[in-house]
Structure 1
Amino acid sequence: MRPDDWHLTEDVDGFLARAGEFLRSRPALHTVPLTVTEALRTRGADAYGAETPLFGSLERAGAVRAAFFRTPPRRLYLTPLTPEEASTLAARLAGLGHRLPGVSADHDTAAAFAEAWQRHTGATPTLHEQERLYRLGTLTPPQPLPEGRGRVAGEQDRDQLMLWHREFVADIGGSPAADNSSWADTRIADGRLTFWETPEGTPVSMAGMTPMVAGQIRVAPVYTPTHLRGRGYAGAATAEVSRAAMAVGAAEILLFADLDNPTSNGLYQRIGYRPVTDFAVYDFSCAAPEIR
């Protein structure tokens, strides 16, 4: 296998023409590339506040075997690769002068690529986060439910959603966008964010969902302000948005949980989510200069 066996493009439509069938063949495992490419296809790079994205696919005997995408300045995202495939991709990207801030993939692929990237560039990989992907089995709403009810967020909630999204991004160690209004506007327009609110009508938690692509919907984000945690609000909001995903006909309903957070992992399993596989996120330092 050679590094130039990877086909690279900046055209999302061209990428999906090549790799779309491959991504749809395993919708749970490929949930992130499916939802990200769909957003880029329908809304352009502004969907992620990104610079020009980069996509790649690896073909053998006329069939796509693996794929990746990157929406700068974010990390590289990979579908499962063998160590050899990870090495050839690292060699290809390093040879083109790309600088990567990190990688996200299933656990074994992320580790293999991190090692290969260090070998090809001298960059030092650091494990940033480990996540578990869950798939909904039988939805079992938490009992007892906290007082209150679920409600789909509307235009009147725009400022609240923007604030909570900034807090959520900060909570997970991300970099808040200067303007996250488009994030809120898109989800309000599509009815994809659900509040759990008190009997008095005060929102206390939110849960969102991605658009349905290839029959799968991913629950994200789930957020409760720090001072309101531990009262069952997140479980109630997650159950409500999961029910909404079922109502629109999703064949698979998925979510990620940080493995360092036993509370959220236990919560999701209690309401019916079952483990699929584990993912890892690495950060890279001292990478080679990027060609722009």
Structure 2
Amino acid sequence: MTSTKTKIANFEFDNCIMNAAGVLCYDKDELAKILNSAAGTFVTKTATLEPREGNPEPRYHDTRLGSINSMGLPNLGFDYYLDYLLELKKTHPKRTFFFSLVGMSQNDTHTLLRKVQESNFDGITELNLSCPNVPGKPQIAYDLETTEKLLTDIFSYFKKPLGIKLPPYFDLVHFDQAAAVFNKFPLSFVNCVNSIGNGIIIEDEKVVIKPKNGFGGIGGEYVKPTALANVHAFYQRLKPSIQIIGTGGILSGRDAFEHILCGASMVQIGTTLHKEGVSAFSRITSELKEIMEKKGYKSIEEFKGKLKYL
């Protein structure tokens, strides 16, 4: 039997396909749709310490090749998602979920992670170091000195499984430098990539979203080559204990296959999920299995990271 099972941080998942933070995960109703779909698990909306309304609308726009957004982290606050995850543990004790977090300051980040450490949450935490759409807030992961200091402080008290969501890097030297920092820490995974920050989409001579005069994160088909490059660059450079989650431009089983071929242990669906709904999970899973069967692969481990070069 062909299987798309995978492991992240020693937790097993029946399917390597899940949602990307920010899509169909704002509240319990949306998360329940993913819970009852073909997805292997879900990640919550990236939570801040307090609830946030986010940026003014329109702040998301579908395009032919993907999407643009400047959401500004709308979410129901840390406590809402933690309470839901603890509730789920009672009804789905054998399943593992991802809790996405971001601090609006470094102090906030530590407050959030200390709360997780002190709680009964026993899943996987994803710290978002790559929010490109909050006015006045830079992406932390582009400042590697700050990132190293932050991770040093975090791992002095945080002992649960933790991974980081990354922005795309574009220079081979930056891959080297970033990996050198990440390899110093007991990270469970890195997630490559968040949207490509600060693009503009124009229709009828005007921008299509309101925040930041139209500047927003680009997702979907546009970003797949960049996402694949980031997945493979970090697969080549990170110690084996740090796994890769591939995100960006997954419209089909073929796209998921390529992410895994580049080194991803799990893949996340964003723009396609927004456009298509939860049926995307079963469709993409079926397409991935079909490719695996044609090539004679029984598990994703048989081809993960085995990209061929000329």
Structures share a fold, TM > 0.5?
no
Larger fraction in strand: 1
The one of the two structures with greater contact order (alpha-carbon pairs below 8 A, sep at least 6) is 1
Q: TM-score, normalised by structure 1?
A: 0.32
Q: TM-score, normalised by structure 2?
A: 0.30
